[in-house]
């Protein structure tokens, strides 16, 4: 672009800004009109985002939401588990022994005891551990909240596991000293449970089956497994894959489907309302700019007469529309932010510290600004086209 033409465009931008400031009442009305349309949309989007995000966060805060519970006993060999490990829908999987062999009696040093605690295999990456390190070897255990309360123990305490079996008509009991590595929150596991390594769980099953020496993990089959999906969206698909292999499972698919349904419904409602509002604003802005060009035909014709090229004259309403869009979006964001704060304050008693009923993110504001500017430029291009077609001679007729 040549220097004179570039200078003309700069002068057009400066004149457009001066004109907005000179007719500040009209400009302010246009900005308010934009804010009146956009602010409610931002609040509606914030409510949709906040409600759905809160519901999803509450589901994800309970790691059991991702759990796919296997029902019944099967014969699952190492090859089957190797294939499962390569499934991208799997977030965590670990073999599990027969439920009848997966219980244990626990005794604390103070004399308290707990009969029939559930043995749960665990390893690194277990969602129920909530960031805790898994048991280090067979002599360490992680207790559920209820089990730790009944035994009156805490991390670092020493307890004894009692594993009993009946062999050749006689009852045998093996005592295993264990160290409590951690205690899980009550929300992670609501039953009396002892989380142990897979080696420990397999050794308990082998002992009860009459084997004094544990079988190698690489060559044994397991009756079940603990399985967690990689994400909420993967739960249903993973469950369907297992059912296709005649493995019965249970999931919290209904709760997940409810959140997705709310997200979809609110998204559709937002799209309908937004389309109507944006369409109305687009027509309103186009009409306003059209009328503004008609009102300033003499001034625009004078610009043509003094040598402004058609493109520079066309840029006059476009620059004004962009400025109005930016200022209107800024006002809308401020108003919507205030409403969001009021809504979150009113509902604070029903929300946790990190939850919001109305959530407006900077990225959402940026998208709203970009869309508004683009629509304003499209609408103003019609007025700009009319401005560029004004005959310079019109300014002479008014003299």
Candidate from 149-158, 287-296, 359-368, 387-396 with smallest mean pLDDT = 387-396
Q: Is the pLDDT score of 196 beyond 90? A: yes
Looking at residue 151, its pLDDT comes to 92
Q: How confident is the model at residue 146 (pLDDT cuts 50, 70, 90)?
A: very high
Two tokens, residue 23 = 């007719």
366 plus 330 within the same structural domain? yes
Q: Is the pLDDT score of 1 beyond 60? A: no
**7 vs 367, residue with greater confidence:** 367
Q: How far is 265 from 309, CA to CA, in rounded Å? A: 50
347 plus 304 within the same structural domain? yes
Q: Give mean pLDDT, residues 260-267.
A: 78
Strand stretches in 240-353, DSSP E: 249-250
Q: Give mean pLDDT, residues 107-126.
A: 89
Name residues whose C-beta falls within 8 Å of residue 173's C-beta, 6 or more positions apart in sequence: 162, 163, 164
Name residues whose C-beta falls within 8 Å of residue 364's C-beta, 6 or more positions apart in sequence: 42, 45, 46, 49
**286 vs 361, residue with greater confidence:** 361
Q: What is the mean pLDDT of the chain?
A: 83
126 plus 195 within the same structural domain? yes
Q: Give mean pLDDT, residues 200-215.
A: 83
Candidate from 191-200, 221-230, 257-266 with smallest mean pLDDT = 257-266
What is the domain extent for residue 352? 3-60+258-397
Two tokens, residue 206 = 């082998």
Q: How confident is the model at residue 89 (pLDDT cuts 50, 70, 90)?
A: very high
Q: Is the pLDDT score of 328 beyond 80? A: yes
The total of structural domains in the chain comes to: 3
DSSP bridge pairs for 228: 67, 92
Q: Is the pLDDT score of 313 beyond 60? A: yes
Q: How far is 341 from 360, CA to CA, in rounded Å? A: 10
Give percent of the chain with pLDDT exceeding 90.
25
Contact 315, 377 (CB under 8 A): no
205 plus 80 within the same structural domain? no
Q: Give mean pLDDT, residues 373-386.
A: 77
Q: How confident is the model at residue 395 (pLDDT cuts 50, 70, 90)?
A: low
Using alpha carbons, select from 159, 90, 172 the residue that is nearest to residue 127.
90
Q: How confident is the model at residue 217 (pLDDT cuts 50, 70, 90)?
A: confident
Contact 356, 50 (CB under 8 A): yes
Q: Give mean pLDDT, residues 9-21.
A: 83
Two tokens, residue 38 = 């956009």
Q: How confident is the model at residue 393 (pLDDT cuts 50, 70, 90)?
A: low
Contact 201, 181 (CB under 8 A): no
Candidate from 1-15, 41-55, 251-265, 319-333 with smallest mean pLDDT = 1-15
Q: Assign residue 156 the CATH number of its domain.
A: 2.40.70
216 plus 281 within the same structural domain? no
203 plus 139 within the same structural domain? yes
Output b/e per residue, 344-375; b: 16+ Cβ within 10 A. Answer: beeeeeeeeeebbbbbbeeebbeebbeebbeb
Distances (CA, A) of 132 to 59, 64, 90, 329, 382: 20, 16, 20, 46, 63
Name residues whose C-beta falls within 8 Å of residue 189's C-beta, 6 or more positions apart in sequence: 120, 128, 144, 145, 195
Q: Is the pLDDT score of 365 beyond 70? A: yes
Q: Give mean pLDDT, residues 8-32.
A: 84
311 plus 295 within the same structural domain? yes
281 plus 379 within the same structural domain? yes
364 plus 272 within the same structural domain? yes
78 plus 111 within the same structural domain? no
Q: Give mean pLDDT, residues 214-221.
A: 81
What does the DSSP 8-state code read for residue 2?
A: -
Contact 16, 323 (CB under 8 A): yes
Q: How far is 96 from 81, CA to CA, in rounded Å? A: 11
Q: How confident is the model at residue 392 (pLDDT cuts 50, 70, 90)?
A: low
Looking at residue 333, its pLDDT comes to 92
Using alpha carbons, select from 278, 281, 280, 258 the residue that is nearest to residue 270.
278
Looking at residue 391, its pLDDT comes to 67
Q: How far is 345 from 362, CA to CA, in rounded Å? A: 20
45 plus 143 within the same structural domain? no
Q: Are strands 193-196 and 170-183 parallel, antiparallel or unpaired?
A: unpaired
Q: Is the pLDDT score of 174 beyond 60? A: yes
323 plus 351 within the same structural domain? yes
Q: How confident is the model at residue 182 (pLDDT cuts 50, 70, 90)?
A: very high
């Amino acid at each position: 672009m040549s220097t004179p033409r570039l200078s003309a465009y700069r002068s057009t931008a400066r004149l457009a800004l001066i004109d907005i400031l000179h007719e500040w009442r009209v400009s302010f009305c246009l900005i308010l009109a934009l804010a009146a349309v956009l602010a409610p949309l931002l609040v509606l989007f914030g409510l949709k985002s906040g409600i759905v995000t809160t519901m999803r966060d509450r589901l994800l805060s309970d790691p059991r939401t991702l759990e796919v519970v296997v029902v019944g006993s099967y014969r699952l060999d190492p090859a089957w588990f190797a294939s499962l490990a390569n499934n991208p829908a799997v977030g965590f999987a670990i073999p599990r022994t027969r439920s009848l062999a997966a219980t244990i009696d626990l005794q604390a040093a103070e004399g308290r005891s707990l009969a029939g605690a559930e043995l749960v295999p665990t390893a690194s990456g277990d969602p129920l551990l909530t960031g805790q390190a898994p048991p280090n070897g067979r002599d360490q255990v992680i207790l559920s909240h209820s089990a730790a309360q009944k035994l009156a123990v805490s991390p670092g305490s020493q307890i004894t596991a009692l594993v009993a079996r009946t062999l050749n008509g006689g009852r045998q009991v093996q005592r295993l000293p264990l160290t409590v590595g951690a205690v899980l929150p009550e929300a992670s596991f609501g039953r009396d449970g002892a989380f142990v390594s897979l080696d420990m769980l397999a050794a308990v099953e082998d002992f009860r089956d009459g084997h004094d020496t544990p079988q190698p993990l690489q060559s044994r089959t397991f009756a079940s497994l603990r399985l967690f999906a990689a994400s909420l969206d993967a739960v249903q698909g993973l469950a369907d894959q297992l059912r296709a292999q005649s493995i019965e499972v249970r999931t919290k698919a209904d709760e997940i489907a409810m959140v997705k349904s709310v997200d979809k419904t609110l998204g559709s409602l937002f799209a309908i309302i937004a389309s109507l509002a944006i369409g109305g604003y687009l027509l309103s802005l186009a009409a306003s700019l059209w009328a503004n060009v008609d009102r300033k035909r003499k001034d625009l014709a004078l610009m043509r007469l003094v040598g402004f090229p058609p493109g520079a004259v066309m840029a006059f309403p476009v620059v004004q529309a962009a400025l109005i869009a930016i200022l209107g979006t800024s006002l809308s964001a401020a108003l919507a932010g205030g409403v969001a704060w009021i809504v979150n304050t009113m509902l604070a008693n029903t929300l946790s510290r990190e939850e919001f009923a109305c959530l407006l993110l900077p990225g959402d504001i940026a998208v709203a600004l970009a869309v508004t500017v683009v629509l304003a430029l499209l609408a103003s291009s019609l007025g700009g086209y009319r401005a560029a077609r004004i005959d310079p001679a019109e300014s002479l007729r008014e003299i």
